[in-house]
A and B are shown apart, each in its own frame.
Chain A
Amino acid sequence: MSKFEFPESINSRPVWGTLEPRPGKSHLMIADAEGAEALLELAKADDRLMSKSTILYFPKGTGETYLEDLENLGAAQLYVGPSYSAAVARLRRILQDAHMGLQIYLSGTESLMGQAMREAADAGIPHSAIQTEHRGSVARRMQCVHCKGITDDVMTDPFVCSHCGLNLFVRDHYSRRIAAYQGVCVDAENPGNVPEPVELYS
């Protein structure tokens, strides 16, 4: 139910996969909201994984839904935090202390996976070596190409830039370095003529 089949798109748009256990000395799992379901399935696929795993989890709108199940996985460490951004320093420290043989698993929203992937890539792990699985909301993290401000959890096209207030349309063009899709002024050639916002993939 939490899985969504994204339609085929352009080459810069990320393609998310399905998590599977890989051999590794240690495992770092980062998930938000319904992303917890992918971790629960991952643990089921290999019951030896969790004793070597660190989990960073952000429930977002799901509240307590998955907490008990996650606690029962017996992870070496389970951190449940209020937001991804609050945990960035913690994540950087974990990556700094990481050794060869670390496996990374990301699941949940595109915003969470994109940002965590960027941190891992900055720490020297190739993005192609990181596993991902999309679950839950199809909301996007958008960068305004005009003011460069980020608006997270964008659910409609067009939307209003939370920084400069321009009405932006949602492109599929994606930057791993910015961990965001590109938003471009929708009424530049016809000021004030802003189409009615439509929910993404509706």
Chain B
Amino acid sequence: MTIQFNDETFRDDYTFRNSQWAIDRFPFPFHEDSYMYSVNMEQHQGGPAGSVFEKRFDVDEHYVSEMKDRALVLAEDPLRCQCLPHMTLAGWDLLELIMVSKSEDYPDLFELHREGNNWHWINKPLGIDHKFVFLDETTLPYGPMEYITRQSQGDFAVLDQRDDNLWMDAGMVTTQADWSLDFDIGMNFFEWHAPVPKANEMGIFVRALKFLLNIQQGTPARRLNWTMTVNPLLDTSPENYHKWGVQKTTLTPENIGTKQHLRVELQTFFRLPRSNALVFPIRCYLISLQDLVTVPKWGRRLHRVIRDLPVELATYKGFIDNRPMIVDYLSQFDDGLPTSDGIWPDKNTEPPLQT
């Protein structure tokens, strides 16, 4: 498999685009025509060939440009990557997990050669060829977590497990749906989720935590989460909200198809072997509404989900003001026909849009 890496931006002129390949494999997050919170966990043991679920750490056409964007964010604000002192070992665990997974899953792109603790890492897309000593921080230009997550798409929260809870004690967070690692670092599972409406009362977090505490080595789990973002802006951080928030007001009926994006997070959970920490990669996928509605089933379903979403959720997800315009736009792509179960596009079996 060869990936053509895009040269694109996630800020300023926003040249980000999805190819037909990326549209077809987009992780559409709604398995039915409505949405409410649930502990929608499943095993992360591969998935259909070519899907974003197939590999442990999906690499796609946006890889190189996303890593450039991350470097820009970190240059402006180094606090987006933090690691409390007791989490260094978990950082090495994560480095090992990613290097081993990527070299096995994408042998044409990544190579890892190991002789004892003398490791040789080759990352062809980013042009990195590096020999270092595993567990010796002085042989890396950054701490182990920062080093490897500067080479991996998606945010990474590294969670310490103690007192029957998970603690956000390290992370690399530059593509977040409006939460601050710098503020939340050191919090436990219930504290960092505190601002989420409704889910606590529904018992979601108690059940999710129980599940996560019991994740074992070699049996990772995954779920999808979603929100809406105006412009393909990866760094929707609270830190920069006073700069990007105003972009939400630039939507018009004419530009909404290209400007409004569905933002989907593929969240995965892996137990780390030495530290017993849990790593929580949060991989962000963006798709413009215009591209999304080229899949008839997704156009029908997204219209129904957004239209019927409870006000609290639309508010929390930050698009309550734009919802009427989004629903208006999407309604053109909903002919009222039933939709098939599940998230897959089903392009060959679902009828085209009836006009």
Contact = CB atoms under 8 A, between A and B. Distances in A.
Chain A interface, DSSP helix/strand/loop, else mixed:
loop
B182 A188 contact: no
Interface string A102-126: 0000000000000000000000000
A11 B194 CA distance: 5
Nearest to A145: B238
A189 B239 CA distance: 14
B241 A182 contact: no
B183 interface: yes
A176 B186 contact: yes
B114 interface: no
Interface stretch (B25-33, B68-76, B153-161, B244-252): B244-252
B183 A184 contact: no
A175 B182 CA distance: 10
Given A185-B245, A188-B242, A145 B180 contact: yes
Contacts of B43: none
Contacts of A184: 238, 241
A175 B185 CA distance: 8
A146 B241 CA distance: 8
Contacts of A182: 180, 183, 238
B246 A173 contact: no
B182 A148 contact: yes
B241 A175 contact: no
A5 B209 CA distance: 30
B191 interface: yes
A166 interface: yes
Given A145-B180, A175-B186, A175-B187, A12 B245 contact: no
A10 B194 contact: yes
A171 B191 CA distance: 13
Nearest to A176: B186
Interface in B183-216: 183-187, 190-195, 200
A171 B180 CA distance: 13
Contacts of A132: none
A163 interface: no
Interface of B: 79, 180, 182-187, 190-195, 200, 238-246, 248-249, 321
19 contacts: A10-B194, A10-B195, A11-B190, A11-B191, A11-B193, A12-B187, A12-B192, A145-B183, A145-B239, A146-B240, A146-B242, A166-B242, A173-B183, A173-B195, A175-B184, A176-B187, A185-B241, A185-B245, A188-B244
Given A177-B186, A188-B244, 19 more contacts: A11-B193, A11-B194, A12-B187, A13-B194, A145-B241, A146-B239, A146-B241, A171-B195, A173-B194, A175-B183, A175-B186, A175-B187, A177-B185, A178-B183, A184-B238, A185-B245, A189-B245, A189-B321, A190-B249
